[in-house]
Structure 1
Amino acid sequence: MILSWRRRRASKYANRKEFTGETLDMGMEEIVIPSHFRCPITLDLMKDPVTLSTGMTYDRSSIDAWIEKGNKTCPVTNQVLATFDQIPNHALRKMIQDWCVENRSHGVERIPTPRIPVSAYEVTRVYQRIMAATQRGDYNKCLELVAKVRAWGKDSERNKKCMMENRMGCCLSATFEFFAGNEETTLLEEILAVLPWMFPIGEEGQSKLGSAKSLRCLVWFLEGKDLSSRQNAVSVLRKLVSLDQKHVDAIMEIEGAIEALVKIIREGPSVCPTATKASLSCVFYMISGASNEIKSRFVELGLVSLLLEMLVDAEKSLCERALGVLEGLCDCKQGREKAYENALTMPLLVKKMLRVSVLANEFSVSIIWKLCRNQNGDGDGDDEEEIKILMEALQVGAFQKFLVLLQVGCGDGIKDKVTELLKLFNLHISKVDCVDSSMDFKYLKKGQF
């Protein structure tokens, strides 16, 4: 039995192919990795060896991480790097690949030949060619070059960073504006697939992408049927509205923009979670500081009910966004009325407290505070609607949750709301059987909570 178990264990580990330390653990035997095949930083087998100006060779991912941390010296020699250029060591990489092939009977896989990262010069050259083709109105040449940019981005995060740092986002924003409204949409779809990871795009890029022509085109994609294009368009829109309020104002003036965002939310995260989160973020920016008229438009489209349904089994980031939008909608009378009507409202808000995140706690408390104070009245706990919601909150355990919140600590703004709510609860606590009526807080001062 023991021998059989060892054999199965050896077979299991033979398929793991993990390159760590000085050896490869292949079950019952160890294969020694030649020391010059190992990266001096991680001691792992190098997959993409590159040589620095000091003559030392490292795995590209390891030395990239070293430099990104702000280090300006060679890790082994401690010499100051005259340049951060990395020269691919093709000879060593070929030797490593041959060694892997020789040991494949032991479960070692041959490392793939890495692609050489794009350089700033190459990015600048393509940038210039795209701008020139855009000025000529050469659609096909722009499509060819943008496809090349997209392929670069797919190769590595390093390529994306290089293009972002060399203003490719600004270039593509200008091209998008130029061809916005064109009957042939393939080029625009390619640009939208690239733009989400090109931010920040600079002031010039913002002016191009934030123009009325570009924004109308983005909304047109939001209203379309192609899921990928809609996802990319709303992702671009989310990044844009987070930069400047003027973009938010401009989008709200475009017919169909609000309806398109709510439609994506209505489809739910099961269809496309990325698009749903981006849409919620857009709505959050749009209602922050907006008039009650704007908020009422979202309410009329059924957004309050959609948010509550989404909160039932939403994961953390989605839950935070949904609560943030709901908190904004409860500023207006119509939003509160819809919340009052929905039986899920109070149970969900109380349930989410202390279960998701600090931010979710703050949003949940703020929503309950707005509902219980009933902003049409004076917030003294005597209004009929106010009493009804207070009693419901008590019945689902809000009183106990608030006490715990005070114990674990919360921000001053939320602490004030919790304290005020506890005082309102204290007026009706004796009417609810599920709360210990002996816990009377009417004699405690605000500072004691």
Structure 2
Amino acid sequence: MYDANTRRILTFPAIRPCESVSPATLLTSLITLSETICSFKLKPLYTNAKNAKDSIRLVGNILVFLEEIRRDELVLSCEMVLSLSELHFVFQKLRFLLEDCTRSDARVLMLVRSQKVSNLFRAIFRSITVALDAMPLDSIDISYELKEVMGLINNQAFNSKLGFRPEDERVLEKFRSVLDQLEHQMNPDRKNLKRILDYLGIWGWVECNNEIKFLDSEIELERSNTKNSDLGILSTLMGFMVYSRCTLFTTVDSDAVTVSGDHGSDSCQHVITSLNVDDLRCPISLEIMLDPVTLTTGHTYDRSSIEKWFVSGNLTCPKTGEKVISGNIVSNLCIKNIIKEYCLENGISMAESGCSNRGRGNTHTSTGGSVAAEAAIRLAVDYLVDRLVFGTIDAKHKATYEVRLLSKTSIFNRACLVEAGVVPSLLDLICLKNPRIQENAIAALLNLSKYSKTKKVLVENGGLELILEVAQNGLKMEARQHAAGTLFYLTSVDEYRDIIGKIPRSIPVLMELVLEGTERCKKNALVAIFGLLKYPENHWKALAAGVVPLLVDLLRSSSQCEDILVDSLAILATLAEKPDGTMSIVSCGALHVILDVVGSTTSRASKEYCVALLLAMCKNGGADVVRVLVSNSSIMGPLYSLLTEGGSRASKKASSLIRILHDFNEKNASSATRRPVHFQEQFVDVW
């Protein structure tokens, strides 16, 4: 079935009607299709307007003929059915073309493709003429007048003066001139920019941004295409629209726009926050999917895994056993984007998660895609940096918002921003007592901190204390959330883990966010604490600050989302690797809490961290810990399930823990006849 949300622009997945379809059904479907085409006359047309209107008018005239056939319930010959079938096929293509011509977010691309679109209209008119010529009107009982009308309609289609609209040609020429200026790193005349956008009906920031989002999705799809034939022009158009958005529009209704990837209220964030990470794993490899594809059975797998499955001779869906055709696999862009966002939001490296450069194209590319696009972005960045320093308060707000958007979309954009000196300006702006500017500036720093060269610039400009100040006293919780996320990315550098850990308030501030923040804020704070613990010297600091009781309370709370439980367990597992960490966890009465989590959680990640935590506690906590585990028989089920379903590391840890428990039982049974053995010595062979 046709899905308007998945069809790429200027593609025509028309399907010829089945030969066995009844004439009445075919006629009804053709009339419905014609009515749909006629409904486009109420929609705005920005390019190829005359061609589109002529085609709609032609179909409207044919519709009168079709309705009369149905009203009179005429018997249709095989030849007439064939003609109507061909007409149905052509009308499908026309509908697709009109959908593209009336799209509100693809106007600039349709302008560039206007010559091609004009040719498509001509080809469709020729096809309609052929179908009408072949129509055996004498084989049906209609009036002579109606036959004459149909002859006139056929002549109208044959003689229609379809062509490239002069107005489109003039605007397209002006547009090419602007692109040439951008390619030579020259700022285009603002009047010319405005004339082009006005012609396309792009009169505001939101409309401009919608064009950018559309181009972004097209670039993503094009990057997955082996030919990449349209990547250059799409990137150029993206650069043009970004430059226009940054320089032409002085205000933005930010309430009407959400920023995916760094904004806590974005709907995607709710999905990412509440999802079970196991849903993102391939059922075959059990790893987070790199390129998810869906079979006709409705089940999704990683492309490489399912292709290996087919190559090995299997012709069924691994989950259902239903027979499938190996070629019938469709990219699942929705899941792909969720995986991409999940990896970025959780600080998972692309290599670790499987989300490599073959993932969402524009996020990982280090180039602009074309010479004009790169020049346009650099010119836009220079303009924004100037506004950050010298602009009014309103101009600074607009500029920080634009930087926030640019910094989240690609490595190339981040590199341009850092090279232009945006980081010191943003650090100055997060000190302003302006909630909107502070939030946008710290969100931009969060996005930029994902770029390796940003971290050094940020630290050298005194950014750590400023970011901690926002994390502690930010004017909005969203700003504090972004500050915690920025600290997490800074902890990817060992030197900065040490520096941040030496700031006395760093861990207490993050703990405060865990207590007071929203779920996303808690998440960012927890992963920042986890990042700090990668530096061994920070372990005792975290213990001294009281991290363990805080985390145990989180585990006790049934209201916490699965992600927060996973992060809490990950931190506890890290702390338990040292004896003082294990002692602190045991003294909080956490052992039974952890066992409850093992028995109740449905998340494989939670189970794996629980096993790692319990294994470390057995190593460092002695026989008392093992004795509690042995007395709790419910733990064995999750342990054995991880042996078969967990990853390689999780399976090894589960196996080690099972062996410890079995050895303890055996040695406890024979303890009366054997000398006491120090607990640490019993299991030295496990490590």
Q: TM-score range by the shorter chain?
A: 0.5 to 0.7
Deviates more, 1:125-134 or 1:300-309: 125-134
| 2:472–2:480 contact (8 Å) kept in structure 1 | yes
Q: 2:478 — aligned with what?
A: 228
Read off the aligned partner of 2:489 and give its amino acid letter.
K
Q: 2:96 — aligned with what?
A: 38
1:360 CA displacement: 3.1
Inter-CA distance 346–431: structure 2 relative to 1 (3 Å threshold): farther
The CA distance in 1 between the partners of 2:523 and 2:515, in whole Å, is 12
Read off the aligned partner of 2:221 and give its amino acid letter.
W
Aligned residues: 361
1:182 CA displacement: 6.8
Instruction: Summarize deviations over 1:106-131 as a string: whole Å, max 9, x none.
Output: xxxxxxxxxxxx96555423432454
1:410 CA displacement: 4.0
Asked if 1:266 corresponds to 2:515, the answer is yes
The CA distance in 1 between the partners of 2:221 and 2:511, in whole Å, is 44
1:398 CA displacement: 1.9
Q: 1:387 — aligned with what?
A: 624
Asked if 1:148 corresponds to 2:148, the answer is no
Inter-CA distance 304–82: structure 2 relative to 1 (3 Å threshold): closer
Asked if 1:300 corresponds to 2:544, the answer is yes
Read off the aligned partner of 1:319 and give its amino acid letter.
L
1:309 CA displacement: 2.7
Q: 2:465 — aligned with what?
A: 216
Inter-CA distance 183–213: structure 2 relative to 1 (3 Å threshold): farther
| 1:350–1:396 contact (8 Å) kept in structure 2 | no
The CA distance in 1 between the partners of 2:602 and 2:228, in whole Å, is 43
Inter-CA distance 183–254: structure 2 relative to 1 (3 Å threshold): farther
Read off the aligned partner of 1:263 and give its amino acid letter.
E
Q: 1:421 — aligned with what?
A: 657
The CA distance in 2 between the partners of 1:83 and 1:180, in whole Å, is 35
| 1:393–1:399 contact (8 Å) kept in structure 2 | no
Inter-CA distance 169–36: structure 2 relative to 1 (3 Å threshold): farther
Q: 2:262 — aligned with what?
A: none
Q: Look up the SS of the partner of 1:348 in the other structure.
A: helix
The CA distance in 1 between the partners of 2:234 and 2:541, in whole Å, is 57
Read off the aligned partner of 1:418 and give its amino acid letter.
A
The CA distance in 2 between the partners of 1:348 and 1:323, in whole Å, is 8
Asked if 1:283 corresponds to 2:529, the answer is yes
Inter-CA distance 83–164: structure 2 relative to 1 (3 Å threshold): closer
Q: 1:400 — aligned with what?
A: 637
Q: 1:241 — aligned with what?
A: 491
| 2:543–2:581 contact (8 Å) kept in structure 1 | yes
| 2:404–2:443 contact (8 Å) kept in structure 1 | no
Q: 2:612 — aligned with what?
A: 366
The CA distance in 2 between the partners of 1:232 and 1:82, in whole Å, is 34
Read off the aligned partner of 2:36 and give its amino acid letter.
V
1:84 CA displacement: 4.8
Asked if 1:167 corresponds to 2:416, the answer is yes
| 1:199–1:239 contact (8 Å) kept in structure 2 | yes
Read off the aligned partner of 2:500 and give its amino acid letter.
I
The CA distance in 2 between the partners of 1:232 and 1:169, in whole Å, is 18
Q: 2:567 — aligned with what?
A: 321
* Structure with more relative contact order (C-alpha pairs < 8 Å, separation 6 or more): 2
1:241 CA displacement: 2.0
Q: Which has the larger radius of gyration?
A: 2
Read off the aligned partner of 1:124 and give its amino acid letter.
R
**Quick one: which of 193, 199, 209 aligns to 2:443?**
193
Inter-CA distance 152–422: structure 2 relative to 1 (3 Å threshold): closer
Inter-CA distance 306–45: structure 2 relative to 1 (3 Å threshold): farther
Q: 1:98 — aligned with what?
A: none
| 1:262–1:279 contact (8 Å) kept in structure 2 | yes
Instruction: Summarize deviations over 1:369-394 as a string: whole Å, max 9, x none.
Output: 1212235xxxxxxx5xx235433454
Instruction: Summarize deviations over 1:279-334 as a string: whole Å, max 9, x none.
Output: 1111111112413xx32332233322222232343434323221111111113334
| 2:576–2:582 contact (8 Å) kept in structure 1 | yes
Read off the aligned partner of 1:402 and give its amino acid letter.
L
The CA distance in 2 between the partners of 1:18 and 1:181, in whole Å, is 43
TM-score by length of 2: 0.44
The CA distance in 2 between the partners of 1:308 and 1:351, in whole Å, is 11
| 2:404–2:441 contact (8 Å) kept in structure 1 | no
The CA distance in 2 between the partners of 1:414 and 1:388, in whole Å, is 20
Q: Look up the SS of the partner of 1:290 in the other structure.
A: coil
Read off the aligned partner of 1:69 and give its amino acid letter.
S
Q: Look up the SS of the partner of 1:374 in the other structure.
A: helix
| 2:487–2:528 contact (8 Å) kept in structure 1 | yes
Structure 2, gaps ≥5 residues long: 8-12, 16-31, 38-90, 118-210, 241-371, 669-684
Identity %: 13
Read off the aligned partner of 1:399 and give its amino acid letter.
M
Asked if 1:48 corresponds to 2:302, the answer is no
**Quick one: which of 252, 255, 270 aligns to 2:504?**
255
Q: 1:331 — aligned with what?
A: 577
Read off the aligned partner of 1:168 and give its amino acid letter.
L
Asked if 1:127 corresponds to 2:364, the answer is no
The CA distance in 2 between the partners of 1:56 and 1:84, in whole Å, is 19
Q: 2:347 — aligned with what?
A: none
Instruction: Summarize deviations over 1:66-97 as a string: whole Å, max 9, x none.
Output: 3232554558xxxx967754499xxxxxxxxx
**Quick one: which of 216, 219, 243 aligns to 1:64?**
219
The CA distance in 2 between the partners of 1:396 and 1:341, in whole Å, is 22
The CA distance in 2 between the partners of 1:349 and 1:361, in whole Å, is 10
Read off the aligned partner of 1:247 and give its amino acid letter.
Y
Read off the aligned partner of 1:63 and give its amino acid letter.
E
Q: 1:101 — aligned with what?
A: none
Q: Look up the SS of the partner of 1:215 in the other structure.
A: helix
The CA distance in 2 between the partners of 1:159 and 1:365, in whole Å, is 36
Instruction: Summarize deviations over 1:412-433 as a string: whole Å, max 9, x none.
Output: x44444333323322554899x
Q: Look up the SS of the partner of 1:331 in the other structure.
A: coil
| 2:423–2:457 contact (8 Å) kept in structure 1 | yes
Inter-CA distance 152–302: structure 2 relative to 1 (3 Å threshold): closer
Inter-CA distance 177–225: structure 2 relative to 1 (3 Å threshold): closer
| 2:565–2:606 contact (8 Å) kept in structure 1 | yes
| 1:74–1:81 contact (8 Å) kept in structure 2 | yes
The CA distance in 1 between the partners of 2:36 and 2:434, in whole Å, is 58
TM-score by length of 1: 0.64
Read off the aligned partner of 1:38 and give its amino acid letter.
F
The CA distance in 2 between the partners of 1:185 and 1:421, in whole Å, is 50
Q: 2:129 — aligned with what?
A: none
